[in-house]
Amino acid sequence: MNKVNDAINSFFVRRWHAANLKLIRQLYPDAIMDRLGFEWLVIPEFELPKVYNQKNAFFRMDMPGLNIHNHEGYNFYVSKGLTRPDLESFEHIFNEKYNIHANKGLCWLSLHIKSFKPSLSNINSGDTLLSLIQNVYNFLALKKGL
């Protein structure tokens, strides 16, 4: 019976990911998702808050695959070298420390998701990947981080 339940869950999670990608592509048409294991999402031209000198950055979200409810499985990365006109350093961006993608020119954002409650039956009634992306944008807009 567990194999049947796993297959049903896998079907709904895959459908949830497909719906999320469709939603994200309304804002970011160039978004790319790992459609096999659902372990990452990339937005090549992620719009940055106006507090940065750059208009866009490369964005990567690592995801927990089919275990979408694992809020600790989401990690966020943006291009290294972001600068701000006020010369403030953002305290929760790490170029090397804790960063498994440092060799790819990305820095890790120390943004920890405390709760993520997606709805497999209706994408409009639960948290989405787009809501996580909005959290990243809001996080980057802060003066010093959390």
* Residue 35 CA to its chain's centroid (Å): 15
Q: Which residues of 23-62 are buried (b: 16+ CB within 10 A; e: fewer)?
A: bbeeebeebebeeeebebbbbeebebeeebeeeebbbbbb
* pLDDT for position 144: 58
Contact 58, 42 (CB under 8 A): yes
pLDDT per residue rounded down to tens, the chain (146 residues): 577 667 767 888 999 999 999 999 999 999 999 999 999 999 999 999 998 899 999 999 999 998 999 999 999 999 988 888 877 766 667 767 778 888 999 988 888 999 999 988 888 889 999 999 999 999 998 865 44
Distance of CA 95 to the CA centre of its chain: 17
Q: Which residue has the tokens 């567990």?
A: 2
Q: What is the pTM of this model?
A: 0.88
